[in-house]
Structure 1
Amino acid sequence: MKSDLEIAQTTEAWPIEHIAQKAGLTAAEIIPYGRHKAKVDFDPDQHSQENGQLILVTSINPTPAGEGKSTVAVGLADALNLTGAKTMLALREPSLGPVMGMKGGATGGGYAQVVPMEEINLHLTGDFHALTVAQNTLVALVDNSIYQGNPLQIDPSQVLLKRALDVNDRQLRDIVTGVGGHPNGVLRESGFEITAASELMAILTLATDLTDLQERIDRIVVGYTYDQQPVTVAQLQVGGAITALLKDALQPNLVQTLGHTPTLIHGGPFANIAQGTNSIQATRTALKLADYVVTEAGFGADLGGEKFLDVKTPLLGQHPNVIVIVATVRALKMHGGVAKNNLTAENIPALTAGLANLEQHIFSMKRYGVPVVVAVNQFATDTDAELKVVTDFVAVQQLKVAVADVWGHGGQGATDLARIVLQAATEPAEFQPLYLPTATPVEKLTQIVQVIYGGSGVTLTAKAKRQLQTFQELGWAQLPIIVAKTQYSLSDDPKKLAAPTDFKIHVREFVPKLGAGFLVALTGKILTMPGLPKHPAAEQIKVDSTGKITGLF
């Protein structure tokens, strides 16, 4: 059996100019980066054509067994194009952290992939590098202001920004800078976070244009003064410099699927520690160019799905027309208590128990008033009896469901899914946000916990309570909430699988991200700088004498 990388390397990609033409882009609207990728210089506001319909792909809580959300998104987009519907795909960029760590690449799998697979997973057009440099430049400028007489009276112990690196590196979570005396700067405790968790990543993916990008950068709170007043980038007068570093990164990246569906890949915030969606720029561009736009949100519906609907949708100005929830028999059996090494054996009782997780996600997504369908991503070991248990269960929920084998057959394996999605897209949608901006942070959190997670409420540490009081005084309480929590459970305990009940989410502290426009609630033991596993994926990656890469995924 061929690996994902071998399939990608043996499938002929079209020149990027042909993909651009298929998407409806002119030669002047793309900036090629080699043969098979390009930056897109397209202003959606300058085009009067009506927006296409938006299809959001999300999933149940992920497990080590795999759900294939991105794979299904790719396969569905190819399947929709096979029906004659002009379709584009809008995805996030992979981070080197997971690529070199445990999760691997993020370009789909099998015959439902985005290519060039190696280039997308490793460097693409350099957006992550630009973000890393910009974040580190900004922190260096903050430290320099403190060192050069500290005219803004920034308290070194209250600098909020951390340096960034697009690698999982636990050694850098907590560091001390300025060691060695006055010539080396001011001594203070700090740390690194992965680039995907940086505020600049969030800003890049939420900015609507270059002007909005700089305005958001200027609003970043870098820290507090000795008398507890916030200090922003605008006060440092360096917003223009940081914007200059991100000018080209703001443009979406054009690539293609193995089925030659035009694909925009742009931005890569994780959904467990950030908002988990691709950029506003990419989605708006695709909506102007295509009749149907398939996009995905990171991890499960409790994280990426909720954040797409409550944070991105108001800025995008368009809600999804259809929500697709991806599930697999394997993952549902894990939620039902089966160990990963026993998943190939048929186990109806465990599968039935694990369906509680799917049920909660169906409930939470239906709450938004948008048509919901379920995609069962088929694995070779799934039995007919197991697939029937899942499809019968979804039918009882009064939803349409389709089994899709996109890994083995690409778009051809998702024709049934495409049919029910097209049907659902004709149904009326009355989008209802989960909470109003005027709700308090605790009220917003309570809604998320009770409706989306199925829990009972939220508890705050003394530090978190003090922070909310400060935010109220500063006028920040109206901002949306981004919950940073484990992706493996609906709760903040990764060991509680399926659908736990009567639990509370424990918020240890908040991080204000005014540039991005939200407050981050850190829960449980979630970290913004992941670590590498005992055997990282990097051990399998090789390059031969011709430059051909193997073992990437």
Structure 2
Amino acid sequence: MPTDIEIAHGYTLRPIEAIAALLGLEANDLEPQGRHIAKLTAETLRGLRSRPHGKLILVTAVNPTPAGEGKTTTTVGLGDALNRIGRRASIVLREPSLGPVFGRKGGATGGGHAQVAPMERINLHFTGDFHAITSAHNLLAALIDNALHYRLPTATGEALDARSISWRRVLDMNDRALRQVALGLSGSGGAGNGPVRETGFDITVASEVMAALCLANDLPDLQSRLARIRIGKDLAGTPVCAGDIGAAGAMAALLTEAALPNLVQSLGGSPAFIHGGPFANIAHGCNSVIATRAALALSEFAVTEAGFGADLGAEKFANIKCRSAGLAPAVAVVVATVRALKYHGGMALADLGKPDPAALARGLEVLARHAENLAKFGVPVVVAINAFATDAAAEQQQVLDHCAKLGLPAHLCTHWADGGAGAEALAHTVAAIADAADPHAGFRLLYPDAMPLADKIGTVAREIYRAEGISLAPAAARDLARFTEQGFGHLPVCIAKTPYSFTADEHVRGAVTGHMLPITSVRLAAGAGFVVALAGSINTMPGLPRSPAAHHIGLDEYGRITGLS
């Protein structure tokens, strides 16, 4: 029977202590989670705070398509390539969510020769971080319902108002049947189980606990953020937070291990931190600040990614994560494929293997839009063309020529097939740009803290989505005014919308302009530190597709997992 260290493409994983040694870490800096996974200890993290930081490299992409873009694959390939050219680099990624793994997307650890490993463990359960976040979130829900059952007074002196409770439960799985549920129904003996009320489930990656953990500086900061989570109102109409019902301490206790970043490796032997996993379409879409800072303290370059396309992930990376943590990217790499660009140009998925210069030209407008948007943050942009074997050389050249006209450095990359060797030219360009300037000198945010919340949403809609404006539902407008009155007008905004289009309609392709962005509702995430604006028909609990990836996953005769990619 093959051993568990014999993995894809003939690579053999190194002991995690050997990977840690590349970063100058010793065995006592680690909490091993097996032979190939470890967490950094809390003591080690405290010791890293005083170290100077390396440069932060952001990898983002055009809007995702069924044809694939390879953002994670490129992040891993670039990290490997930087190490190959003699620069000390760490890869920093989010943890995969079980919902997409068993749903439409499948695994999220890269592909080909540009993967992080052990792939199966990272995709399935990993170190239990998501389970801890789910438990902490649902502990708060249980404490809320317990307070309602006993009519317990909160820190405000009044009992909770059951009609005002906004805290839902979460599950790390796509399950549309749980979007709306009823609680407190009578049991078989006729006894009630609490006030009957309607609520629902979100997916764990949409949890405010997840967002708070990923934006926290350390455990004390995390506990403070948990205490500020808004759960509803008391019977006098006063807002009530998790701390007001005594929940924050127990929630933080559940998260003590989950708050420690995980260290793994790429197939090319590069150190990789994988920690946290908020979605970018319904949350801020970035790995934890703790992991990012650890990578920056231990490396010349920390190569990270932001979820989905640049219009969602990169915008939130800048306006939420960088604003909160004081970070600044030195370079932004925009990933595109010929196939994805032709899809954005209007081609059908089944026809993408056919040459179509006109469709590709239309798709290149989408690439240009993302590059223009990133330039608004003062970040230098490099384009990575993730090569597919089916690409025609003329199409690849068309993309390179278009980038040259725009003044964008661009490289054809073959890291999927060749590992880090296939992204060395990209690595040289990224390193040269990052070396040339102080990223904090040029980096700028899209809007100031003092801008009104509705104007912040409108600014993102106009500047990033190129909408004519926003249409605020009356209830959303009232809630924004209320949040401002309560002292939250300074927070950044987190727009939740489809990742597949610049609009709120996932079926609209291309670099469209002049549309209106409909904001149907808003939510205050006081603990995480942003205001969520839901655009269009976005759901915070996804559903499974007609043919989910789960149908193709199983075990072989040796008990090894198959069909997970």
1:245-264 alignment runs, 5 A limit: 245-264=254-273
1:60-459 alignment runs, 5 A limit: 60-152=62-154, 153-180=159-186, 182-428=191-437, 429=439, 430-459=442-471
1:182 Cα deviation after fit:
4.7
The aligned residue for residue 52 of structure 2 is 50
The amino acid of 1:23's aligned partner reads L
Deviations 1:271-297 (A, max 9, x none): 000000000000000000000110000
The amino acid of 1:68's aligned partner reads G
1:6 Cα deviation after fit:
9.4
After TM superposition, the score normalised by the length of structure 2 is: 0.95
The aligned residue for residue 22 of structure 1 is 22
Deviations 1:38-72 (A, max 9, x none): 11113256453320011000001111100000000
**Gaps spanning 5+ residues in structure 1: where?**
none
The aligned residue for residue 533 of structure 2 is 521
In the aligned structure 2, how far is the partner of 1:463 from the partner of 1:289?
A: 47
In the aligned structure 2, how far is the partner of 1:230 from the partner of 1:125?
A: 35
User: Helix, strand or coil: the match of 1:271?
Assistant: coil
User: Helix, strand or coil: the match of 2:304?
Assistant: strand
In the aligned structure 2, how far is the partner of 1:316 from the partner of 1:68?
A: 27
Worse-superposed segment, 312-321 or 249-258: 312-321
The amino acid of 1:505's aligned partner reads L
The amino acid of 2:444's aligned partner reads Q
In the aligned structure 2, how far is the partner of 1:319 from the partner of 1:165?
A: 33
1:545 Cα deviation after fit:
3.6
Identity percentage of aligned residues: 49
For the Cα contact (< 8 Å) 1:173–1:193, is it kept in 2? Answer: yes
1:227 Cα deviation after fit:
3.8
In the aligned structure 2, how far is the partner of 1:154 from the partner of 1:35?
A: 48
The amino acid of 1:135's aligned partner reads H
The amino acid of 1:406's aligned partner reads H
The amino acid of 2:331's aligned partner reads V
For the Cα contact (< 8 Å) 2:185–2:192, is it kept in 1? Answer: no
In the aligned structure 1, how far is the partner of 2:280 from the partner of 2:355?
A: 32
In the aligned structure 2, how far is the partner of 1:490 from the partner of 1:416?
A: 31
1:355 Cα deviation after fit:
1.1
1:248 Cα deviation after fit:
0.5
1:28-43 alignment runs, 5 A limit: 28-41=28-41, 42-43=44-45
The amino acid of 2:148's aligned partner reads I
User: Helix, strand or coil: the match of 2:343?
Assistant: helix
In the aligned structure 2, how far is the partner of 1:407 from the partner of 1:89?
A: 16
1:221 Cα deviation after fit:
0.4
The amino acid of 1:272's aligned partner reads N
The amino acid of 1:520's aligned partner reads V
In the aligned structure 2, how far is the partner of 1:330 from the partner of 1:9?
A: 25
2:473 to 457, 461, 472: 461
1:453 Cα deviation after fit:
1.1
The amino acid of 2:20's aligned partner reads A
Deviations 1:381-431 (A, max 9, x none): 111111111111111111111010111111011011111111211333411
User: Helix, strand or coil: the match of 1:425?
Assistant: helix
The aligned residue for residue 531 of structure 1 is 543
The amino acid of 1:320's aligned partner reads P
User: Helix, strand or coil: the match of 1:186?
Assistant: coil
In the aligned structure 1, how far is the partner of 2:499 from the partner of 2:202?
A: 18
1:456 Cα deviation after fit:
1.3
In the aligned structure 1, how far is the partner of 2:344 from the partner of 2:163?
A: 43
1:503-518 alignment runs, 5 A limit: 503-518=515-530
In the aligned structure 2, how far is the partner of 1:158 from the partner of 1:393?
A: 54
The amino acid of 1:486's aligned partner reads T
Correspondence 1:552 to 2:561: no
For the Cα contact (< 8 Å) 1:327–1:376, is it kept in 2? Answer: yes
User: Helix, strand or coil: the match of 1:426?
Assistant: helix
In the aligned structure 1, how far is the partner of 2:559 from the partner of 2:238?
A: 53
In the aligned structure 2, how far is the partner of 1:354 from the partner of 1:241?
A: 50
For the Cα contact (< 8 Å) 2:321–2:327, is it kept in 1? Answer: no
In the aligned structure 2, how far is the partner of 1:10 from the partner of 1:516?
A: 42
User: Helix, strand or coil: the match of 1:491?
Assistant: coil
1:447 Cα deviation after fit:
1.2
In the aligned structure 2, how far is the partner of 1:47 from the partner of 1:203?
A: 20
In the aligned structure 1, how far is the partner of 2:502 from the partner of 2:238?
A: 36
1:233 Cα deviation after fit:
1.0
In the aligned structure 2, how far is the partner of 1:469 from the partner of 1:347?
A: 49
Worse-superposed segment, 269-278 or 443-452: 443-452
In the aligned structure 1, how far is the partner of 2:227 from the partner of 2:540?
A: 23
The amino acid of 1:113's aligned partner reads Q
User: Helix, strand or coil: the match of 1:326?
Assistant: strand
After TM superposition, the score normalised by the length of structure 1 is: 0.97
In the aligned structure 1, how far is the partner of 2:364 from the partner of 2:85?
A: 31
Residues 198, 9 of structure 1: alpha-carbon distance in 2 compared, 3 angstrom cutoff:
farther
1:7 Cα deviation after fit:
5.9
In the aligned structure 1, how far is the partner of 2:436 from the partner of 2:358?
A: 35
Root-mean-square deviation (CA, aligned residues, Å) is 1.4
User: Helix, strand or coil: the match of 2:436?
Assistant: coil
For the Cα contact (< 8 Å) 1:8–1:113, is it kept in 2? Answer: no
The amino acid of 2:63's aligned partner reads N
